[in-house]
Amino acid sequence: MIEHTNACINGVWVAASSGATFAVENPATGQTIAQVADLSATDALSAVDAAYTAQSGWAKRTAKERAAVLRRWHQLILSEQEALAQLITLEMGKPLAESRGEVNYGASFVEWFAEEAKRIYGQTIAAHQPTQRLLVTKQPVGVVVAITPWNFPLAMITRKVSPALAAGCSVVIKPSEETPLTALKLAHLAIEAGFPAGVLNVVTGLDAPAIGEALIADSRVRKVTFTGSTAVGKRLYAQSAATVKKLSLELGGNAPFIVMDDADIDAAVEGAMLCKFRNAGQTCVCANRIFVQAGIYADFVSRFSARVAALQVGDGAHAGVEIGPLINRDGLAKVEAHLADAVAQGARVEVGGTRHSAGALFFTPTVVSGVTPQMRMAQEETFGPVAPIYCFNTESEVLALANATPYGLAAYCYTRNLGRAFRMYEGLEYGIVGMNTGIISTEVAPFGGVKESGLGREGGPHGIDEFLEVKYGCFDLGLDPEECR
Ligand code: ADP
């Protein structure tokens, strides 16, 4: 299953110049599954050389030709769905069914942007002088650096890289050190699909701060696209200032999940299960604060807790497992710290609340009630299988609570009142609102946050614009102005 453990630069598989490697572990078992090339910052810069050299030739191909290569990549990813899914589960632990879903979801961006490549339009504008003609065209930004996280090792790459390639950019991908193997397999399939050497590169390495800093300091890199923590995103924002790079940042969230007393409670429980426990709670759009209106609070807590208690925990590679391990010790420690803080301040554990016997990184799916805004889990992303439930009384109260955070990625609301649904949609200070649904991700819609959750949008009709520059041309026709009257 593991074909490549070296970085992919200029279409060639390369080891670190020092020969160093780092271990990739299966979080479900703690076993080392591969030793991967540990590139230095200097090694990583050779990927920028390759990407810079390849970019202009790639941009000069017709959109139809670029689309054809993307479509082949899409087909190859789908034909390798099972192998990719097993690799995802092996290196980051999510249940195999979710990994298969991720391959489909990730591939859908490649297909979407293969189509969008052919729909990059310009404009002509009525000129301000009779002798002139004005036109507006779009050109690729140039070399793109994509820094991606471990929670969706495949989809976070295709969501960034497909629009960049469709637009005529070349890319240097720096995948998470937790999940480099899926990225390397994607690169293998990209080479097979026919991307020219240097158009898609993957640099692997443990020292992400040094590699990131070197890539961003390079003035040939014109765009950085990042998904990860807000702290690292802010750092990359600051680093990008020196060379005024374009930026897309998809950072942390603190998603409110609001259940009004007029909601369909069964649908809300079902939505909360999917929204909270997908990927063991390790997504940036996971419900991080569940607000339930007082009239249905007790009913919701008991129905939801019964469902959570029945979740199957274990190695994601085993059939029937719904909740895999946390990614690493830091992830587990954060979950435990948030829970301990909430309990110390008076929250009540309804189900779970302890580590799980399945292995060192497993936590039992947990529901805590009576959570209040002062608690740590109200202010930060827990990123684990812990569902905190808050009680509220009025619509205006919950809107204020939901917006009382520096984050603004995804929010969810359940109500059967149409006026209330629109008031909430308009009032929630979030880039994405799920109304009566807990699942919002799709390649056809723009994904992204406001406030400290980030900049830019991925997917949908807006996704490709992030990788295009607008160019304005003012053409003087050399006419006598009098003759034009
Ligand atoms: P998470 O907590 O989800 O792992 P991070 O923001 O730490 O989020 O990591 C997301 C990606 O950013 C990973 O590829 C990681 O290697 C990379 N990364 C972490 N720190 C830095 C940094 N200082 N500069 C550049 N990239 C970084």
Residues 209 and 118 in one domain: yes
Based on the domain organization, do 144 and 262 belong to the same domain? no
Known catalytic membership, residue 250: yes
- The encoded tokens of residue 328 equal 């690493």
**Same structural domain, 465 and 408:** no
Catalytic residue among 98, 111, 250, 452: 250
CATH number of the domain that residue 40 is part of = 3.40.605.10
Summarize the confidence of residues 324-340 as an average pLDDT.
98
pTM above 0.85, yes or no: yes
Residue ID of nearest Cα to ligand 1 atom 14: 176
Flag whether 479 is in a domain. Answer: no
171/193 Cα distance (integer angstroms): 16
Q: Taking residues 411-417, what's their average pLDDT?
A: 98
Domain range for residue 29? 7-251+453-472
Judge if 137 and 274 occupy the same domain.
no
Tell me the best of 38, 91, 147 to mutate to test the pocket of ligand 1, counting ligand atoms within 8 Å of each CB and taking the most.
147
Are residues 429 and 374 part of one domain? yes
Q: Let me know if residue 277 belongs to a domain.
A: yes
**Does residue 171 sit within a domain?**
yes
Q: Is residue 263 part of a domain?
A: yes
> Residue 231 CA: which ligand 1 atom is closest?
6
Picking from 285, 291, 241, the residue whose alpha carbon sits closest to that of residue 453 is 285
Two tokens at 79?
Answer: 């034909």
Task: Specify the pLDDT at position 364.
Answer: 98
294-304: average pLDDT: 98
Q: Is residue 309 part of a domain?
A: yes
Give residues (CB < 6 A) around ligand 1.
147-150, 174, 176-177, 208-209, 212, 228-229, 232, 235
- Sequence-distant (≥ 6) Cβ neighbours of residue 49 within 8 angstroms: 10
284 assigned to active site: yes
Residue 388 belongs to domain with CATH number: 3.40.309.10
Q: Is residue 336 part of a domain?
A: yes
Number of domains in the chain: 2
Residue nearest to atom 24 of ligand 1 (CA): 209
Structure confidence by residue, pLDDT tens digits, 349-392: 999 999 999 999 999 999 999 999 999 999 999 999 999 999 99
> 425 with 468, same domain?
no
DSSP for residue 355: B
Residue 183 lies in a domain: yes
Query: Quick one: pLDDT at residue 482?
Result: 83
- pLDDT tens track for 110-130: 999 999 999 999 999 999 999
pLDDT at 483: 79
Residue 17 has pLDDT above 80, yes or no: yes
Q: Is residue 441 part of a domain?
A: no
- Ligand 1 centroid–CA 207 distance in Å is 10
CB 28 within 8 A of CB 326: no
Give the residue, by CA position, lying nearest to ligand 1 atom 13.
Answer: 176
- C-alpha to C-alpha distance for 283 and 382, rounded to whole angstroms: 10
| Ligand 1 centroid to residue 251 C-alpha, Å | 11
| Whether 332 and 379 share a structural domain | yes
Domain match, 111 and 208 both: yes
428 shares a domain with 292: yes
Q: Whose CA is nearest to atom 22 of ligand 1?
A: 209
